[in-house]
Amino acid sequence: NTVCFRYKPQAIQEEQEINALNEQLMHQLNDSGKLYLTHTKVNGRFVLRLVVGSSHASMEHTKAAWETIVALSNKITN
């Protein structure tokens, strides 16, 4: 039920910058009210967590969440 991931654009190599970008992404997604992500750190890397735990959640819900994540990721780096 838990998917862990991080956004890492090819143009950004600095680990601290990638961590900051992922934290920014999480806050903007959470502030949007469309979905809520949590985070953890793995070997010093800021990692996002998406939990799909409702028995009423469908594949369409998961796809919509992912599309929201991708759209905002692209928006904040362009």
pLDDT of residue 26: 98
Q: Report the alpha-carbon distance of residue 50 to residue 65 in Å, rounded.
A: 9
Q: What is the pLDDT of residue 1?
A: 80
- Which residues does 43 contact at the CB level (< 8 Å), separation at least 6? none
Task: State if pTM tops 0.75.
Answer: yes
> What mean pLDDT is reported for the chain?
93
Tell me how far the alpha carbon of residue 28 is from its chain's centroid. 10
Alpha helices in 1-78 (DSSP H): 15-32, 59-77
